[in-house]
Amino acid sequence: MDISYIINQLGEDRRDYFNAIAPPIIQTSNFAFDTVADLRKAFEDEMSTYIYSRGINPTVDILRKKLAALDGAEDCLVFNNGAAATFAAVLANVKSGDHIVSVEHPYSWTKHLFEKILPRFGITTTYIDGRYIENFERAILPNTSLIYLESPTSWYFEIQDLEAVAELARAEGIVTLIDNSYCSPLYQKPIELGIDMAMQTATKYIGGHSDTLGGVLCGSAEMMRKIFLSEFLCIGSGIQPFNAWLLLRGLRTLPARLDRINRTTQKVYEFLKDHPRVESIIYPFDPGFDQYELAKKQMKEAPGLISIYTDHETAQEIENFCNSRKYFKMAVSWGGHESLIIPKLSSMKMEDFDPGVKEHQMIRIYVGLEDAEQLISDLNF
């Protein structure tokens, strides 16, 4: 389906709302019915009608259709944030005593789920280096029910061979889930590569303006219905109409924003690659990246994120470098209009910093929508 059609037309019947160009925010908690028979019919299939906005809402529905189409999926659920989407997807596919195989270095709150919450119910997780398919093969146990992926991961940009993992999981009857926030559906389509569920934090590229949160979960109609009728409705973490409307607005400019971010990222990468004080760089489309060929095969582009190691030797030097940037804001996340910088040491106590541990010296850069020349000048230290 054409991206322009998905973003600008799909799911929008303007005759239903006075031919308004922008869809309205249907800010209501519930919906009225003319007869008991109509209400009874709605109760029979709450996913196919409007009964209560904790479930399905007209504004959210438009967004669902667009996001499912972008991912090449049959259906989609939209949550208040990405962590909620991952939580529901995992919870719907595990039971007491099950086992999960996860890539190492997952998102922090996904790791919290695996290490703090699920063990209460006897659910264990094995972390592996997901760059090698044989590690998945070795980690699978008779009670493995879920494989969790992030490709690329958000600091080291480790990549998994999605087709190979999907094939292995199908043969073993295991459900696969990926966090696809790095690429978005525009630059990587895990569903088409055989992955069961694709999650992305709409807070990032979909929203694009750092003014709302959102989490997207796409997959088969059967899987989305399974999650909707249990975890989604029970937890009550579905997105609100106003936030969905903001994400619809963000979608209108998604291709243009990603294209600019990608072009600027290439310029910033080329500058940093040759900078005398940058000791090494981690970027999936760097020919020296150890998974460069797989990155080029699976991903259309590698937008926004670059990790670097500089020649700064002490924690204070790294902090001074990050503190002195004029245009790069110090913040977590990525995907908005603003360029960001964050050192790895910001998540640790100063006394735990070890200059001998390379990871502690890592700095991640996100390239936003500012002019490339402005950003490059700010990084010229």
Q: What percent of the chain has pLDDT over 70?
A: 100
| Secondary structure class of 53 (helix, strand, coil) | coil
Give the Cα separation of 123 and 37 in Å (integer): 43
CATH code at position 275: 3.90.1150.10
My answer on whether 108 and 153 are in the same domain is yes
My answer on whether 220 and 301 are in the same domain is no
My answer on whether 263 and 218 are in the same domain is no
My answer on whether 236 and 281 are in the same domain is no
pLDDT band at 20 (very low <50, low <70, confident <90, very high): very high
CB 121 within 8 A of CB 96: yes
> Residue 1 above 90 pLDDT?
no
- Which ranges of 115-232 would DSSP assign to H, the alpha helix? 133-139, 162-172, 184-187, 221-227
Q: What is the pLDDT of residue 362?
A: 95
Q: 148: buried, middle or exposed (CB in 10 Å: 19+, 13-18, 0-12)? A: buried
Give every CB contact of residue 91 below 8 A, 6+ residues apart in sequence. 231
For the segment 165-203, what is each residue's pLDDT rounded down to a tens digit? 999 999 999 999 999 999 999 999 999 999 999 999 999
Strands (E), 56-143: 75-79, 99-103, 124-128
Q: What is the pLDDT of residue 122?
A: 98
Give the Cα separation of 248 and 270 in Å (integer): 33
My answer on whether 64 and 154 are in the same domain is yes
Q: Which of 195, 206, 259 is nearest to 63 (CA)?
A: 206
Q: Which of 46, 66, 62, 72 is nearest to 13 (CA)?
A: 62
Give the Cα separation of 246 and 156 in Å (integer): 30
- Which ranges of 274-349 would DSSP assign to H, the alpha helix? 292-298, 315-323
My answer on whether 89 and 137 are in the same domain is yes
Q: Which of 18, 20, 65 is nearest to 251 (CA)?
A: 65
Give the Cα separation of 111 and 136 in Å (integer): 18
Q: What is the pLDDT of residue 309?
A: 95
Within 10 angstroms of residue 31's Cβ, the number of other Cβ atoms is: 16
My answer on whether 32 and 128 are in the same domain is yes
Fill in the DSSP letter of residue 238. Answer: B
CATH code at position 28: 3.40.640.10
My answer on whether 227 and 337 are in the same domain is no
Fill in the DSSP letter of residue 341. Answer: E
For the segment 201-242, what is each residue's pLDDT rounded down to a tens digit? 999 999 999 999 999 999 999 999 999 999 999 999 999 999
Which residues are paired to 124 by β-bridges? 99
Fill in the DSSP letter of residue 215. Answer: E
Mean pLDDT of 369-374: 97
What domain count does the chain have?
2
Q: Which residues of 177-205 are buried (b: 16+ CB within 10 A; e: fewer)?
A: bbbbbbbbbbbbbbbebbbbbbbbbbbbb
Fill in the DSSP letter of residue 324. Answer: T
Which residues are paired to 340 by β-bridges? 329, 366
> Residue 355 above 90 pLDDT?
no
Q: Which of 379, 281, 264, 269 is nearest to 324 (CA)?
A: 379
- Which amino acid is located at 272 in the chain? L
Mean pLDDT of 59-65: 97
My answer on whether 243 and 277 are in the same domain is no
> Residue 374 above 90 pLDDT?
yes
Q: Which of 252, 282, 316 is the last residue of a domain?
A: 252
My answer on whether 41 and 8 are in the same domain is yes
Give the Cα separation of 279 and 308 in Å (integer): 8
My answer on whether 233 and 313 are in the same domain is no
- Compute CA 259 distance to the chain's CA centroid, rounded to the nearest angstrom: 18
Q: What is the pLDDT of residue 313?
A: 84
For the segment 95-148, what is each residue's pLDDT rounded down to a tens digit? 999 999 999 999 999 999 999 999 999 999 999 999 999 999 999 999 999 999
pTM recorded for the entire structure: 0.95
Q: Which of 220, 252, 284 is the last residue of a domain?
A: 252
pLDDT band at 250 (very low <50, low <70, confident <90, very high): very high
Residue with tokens 């998974």: 291
My answer on whether 195 and 148 are in the same domain is yes
Domain span at 304: 254-378
Strands (E), the chain: 75-79, 99-103, 124-128, 144-150, 175-179, 197-201, 215-219, 278-282, 305-310, 329-330, 340-343, 362-366
Q: What is the pLDDT of residue 178?
A: 98
Q: Which of 193, 222, 252 is the last residue of a domain?
A: 252
Q: 152: buried, middle or exposed (CB in 10 Å: 19+, 13-18, 0-12)? A: buried
